[in-house]
Amino acid sequence: MIFKDSTAIVGVGQTRFGKGLDESELELACAAIGSALDDAGIDAAEVDALGSYTMEETPEFEVARNLGLGDITFFSRVNYGGGAGPGAVGQVALAIAAGIAKVGVVWRSRKRADPTSRVWASTPSVIRDHWKWSRPSGLLRPVDEVALLARRYSHHHGDCRDALAQIALQQRRYANANPAAMMRERAMTREDYFAARMVADPLCLFDNCLETDGAVALVLTRADRASDCRRRPVLIHAFSQGLARGHQPMTDYHRTDPFDGSSGVTARNLWRQADFRPHELEVAQIYDAFSPLVLFSLEAYGICRCGEAADFVRSGGLGPSGTLPTNTSGGGLSEAYIHGMNLIAEGVRQLRGDAATPIPGARTCLVTGCDATPNGALLLRAAA
Amino acid sequence: MLLPATDTPHEEAFWAGLRDGELRMQHCPNCGRWQFPPLLGCGGCGRAIVWVRVSGRGTIWSVTEIHAPVLPAFAPLVPYLVALVELDESPTLRMVGNVLPAVGDAINSLRLAEVPIGTRVAASIEPLGEGVYWPRWRLAL
């Protein structure tokens, strides 16, 4: 297989994460990319590939000319919001592995802290896309769409609210140890969680990701070039995207089993490529715009059997000494919500040993995109 | 008020059915698949589909109670319930809608505890506005 371990992430960069940052999205993007290139020890003029999300609003040409990047020979965008991150990285990696490009940058920059910038808040009065089937009934926000699945999950497997609380609390503890996290100074207790206002029952405020201004960028190159870089390279071991047969984004309600969806497609193709198995993972970064997505993903990616994710979480499985330390920077719930790009950056830091909460001996990491949309995932591995 | 666009040719039988007080769904005579939302052909085998009137009876597959903040059109109604109803004909026929005690009631008339998963419901086709109709779900005896 030409792809496996042939490319590496050699640099990560990010801006500060916050609300109401002064910089524009372009300034944030360029700051994060510049920092990632410095981290890698690669000159801007060497960059010849760019990848991002279709929802990214900073165009390639502005990023390229404002940073002094070289001639670009490959650029791609991946659709479906929070499902896109691993795909954006994977497509640039494919271009590098195939010899189309040599040095790639993947970035995401967004200013979402202003409530008026929320995507659902701009729903048109006449809806033409697939949200026409749900939003006119008042199922308006992504959290509402996930809440229907969370309640059904509880119906099958028992009330999962205490497991959702455990996810939120564990990620907050990781964030409390992370100087970059928006919630670094905000402790959360179990009482805080259960006292929080309900948003879409059974999901309360703390089941929702943060709204963040900030940017994250990664630098990729060939594995054989990576050994010359400043940092220990992190290999891209496997990559897949997934769009299940009959899938409908966020409201994937119309297939026989909505819990066997696009993550399952991604997972099967990912593990087909891999030299290690789910139980051999040492750390994971699981897309967490809403806490139930962590439960659903733990099962879809084969870390837990169907219906067992809540027990896995309740037993401390996601903590630093648990079976699979997960979202170790605090994730979208408590570090920052940069559409999952900060999860990928954290996966890289874990495998090269410079994470805020380093997991001892971590050599392999799963990074996933949004369970509820067409998505993707990466398996990362520390270089020998 | 949020309305679905209804000027889509391959959905015409669906919207016209609702205007006539009927719930119609796509069925594939080749592979037997029922499907919603409407597609250009069968999502299972790709062949042509036919439209069939369905019973309008179903079961609450899931339900949530929506709290603020929401869009202005729904803000006066919080908290209100939104359900996913599975029609008796097939698990692939699930529709998002509101659950009401009786025809004509407001969408915030019931509390979550009154509508557990598994509750039997029946369609009541009601106007959404501007000539567009949509099933609301009343508790079935």
d(CA B136, CA B67): 20
- Residue A123 at interface with chain B, using a CB cutoff of 8 Å: yes
Query: How is residue A27 written in tokens?
Result: 């300034």
CB A270 within 8 A of CB A379: yes
With respect to residue A101, please indicate whether it lies within any of the assigned structural domains: yes
Name the DSSP letter for residue A115. Answer: G
Banded model confidence at residue B1, pLDDT cuts 50, 70, 90: confident
Residue B64 with chain A: CB contacts under 8 Å = 139, 144, 147-148, 151, 200-202
Measure in Å the smallest separation between the Cα of B128 and chain A Cα atoms: 8
Query: How is residue A94 written in tokens?
Result: 């494919």
Would residue A337 show up in a list of annotated catalytic residues for this protein? yes
Structural domains for chain B: 8-53 (no CATH), 55-141 (2.40.50.840)
Q: Is the peptide bond before A86 cis (omega within 30 degrees of 0)?
A: no
Place of tokens 């760019």: A50
Arithmetic mean of pLDDT over chain B = 96
Residue B137's identity, in one-letter code, is W
Q: Where are the beta strands (DSSP E) in A297-374?
A: 364-368
This prediction's pTM: 0.97
Mean pLDDT over A54-83 rounds to: 98
> What does the pLDDT read at residue B127?
94
Measured between alpha carbons, how far is residue B127 from residues A35, A136, A166, B108 in Å? Answer: 55, 11, 43, 17
> What does the pLDDT read at residue A14?
98
How many contacts (CB atoms, under 8 Å) link A and B? 108
Continuous segment of H or E residues that includes residue A7: strand A7-14
CB B55 within 8 A of CB B82: no
Mean pLDDT over A226-241 rounds to: 94
| A136–B2 CB contact, under 8 Å | yes
Mean pLDDT over A236-246 rounds to: 98
Look at residue A171 and tell me whether its pLDDT is greater than 70.
yes
With respect to residue A162, please indicate whether it lies within any of the assigned structural domains: no
> What does the pLDDT read at residue A142?
98
**Number of folded domains that form chain A:** 1
The top-scoring range by mean pLDDT among A113-127, A225-239, A303-317 is A303-317
> What does the pLDDT read at residue A151?
98
With respect to residue A171, please indicate whether it lies within any of the assigned structural domains: no
- pLDDT tens-place string over residues B47-98: 999 999 999 999 999 999 999 999 999 999 999 999 999 999 999 999 999 9
The more confidently predicted of residues A125 and A292 is A292
Mean pLDDT over A176-198 rounds to: 98
Compare CB distances from A198 to B67, B84, B94 and report the shortest one's residue.
B67
Sign of the alpha-carbon torsion through A279, A285, A291, A293: negative
Residue of B nearest to A136 (CA): B2
Task: Using a pLDDT cut of 70, give the percent of chain A over it.
Answer: 100
With respect to residue A241, please indicate whether it lies within any of the assigned structural domains: yes
- Residue B102 at interface with chain A, using a CB cutoff of 8 Å: no
Look at residue A237 and tell me whether its pLDDT is greater than 90.
yes
Measure in Å the smallest separation between the Cα of B141 and chain A Cα atoms: 22
Compare CB distances from B66 to A197, A200, A246 and report the shortest one's residue.
A200
Residue of A nearest to B15 (CA): A133
With respect to residue A52, please indicate whether it lies within any of the assigned structural domains: yes
Mutate: best of A137, A146, A164, partner B, most B CBs <10 A: A137
Query: How is residue B29 written in tokens?
Result: 């005579």
Banded model confidence at residue A269, pLDDT cuts 50, 70, 90: very high
> What does the pLDDT read at residue A1?
67
With respect to residue A145, please indicate whether it lies within any of the assigned structural domains: no
Closest CA to A252 of A124, A80, A90: A80
d(CA A95, CA A213): 30
- Residue B98 at interface with chain A, using a CB cutoff of 8 Å: yes
With respect to residue A178, please indicate whether it lies within any of the assigned structural domains: no
CB A181 within 8 A of CB A336: yes
Angle between helices A292-300 and A161-176 (to 10 degrees): 100
- pLDDT tens-place string over residues B85-140: 999 999 999 999 999 999 889 999 999 999 999 999 999 999 999 899 999 999 98
Name the DSSP letter for residue B140. Answer: P
With respect to residue A321, please indicate whether it lies within any of the assigned structural domains: yes
Q: What angle do CA A19, A22, A24 make, to 5 degrees?
A: 100
Provide DSSP, B99-131.
EESSTT--TTSS-GGGS-TT-EEEEEEEEEETT
**Collapsed DSSP state (helix, strand, coil) of residue A83:** helix
Domain with A41 in it: 7-112+210-382
Q: Which residue out of A53, A153, A301, A337 is catalytically annotated? A: A337
CB A299 within 8 A of CB A308: yes
Residue B4's identity, in one-letter code, is P
Q: At A294, which CATH number?
A: 3.40.47.10
Look at residue A37 and tell me whether its pLDDT is greater than 80.
yes
Residues 41-70 of A with CB under 8 A from B: none
- A355-361: long-range contacts at Cβ-Cβ below 8 A with a sequence spacing of 24 or more? A355/A328, A355/A329, A356/A174, A356/A177, A356/A178, A356/A179, A356/A180, A356/A181, A356/A328, A356/A329, A357/A174, A357/A177, A357/A178, A357/A320, A357/A325, A357/A328, A357/A329, A359/A282, A359/A283, A359/A320, A359/A325, A359/A328, A361/A282
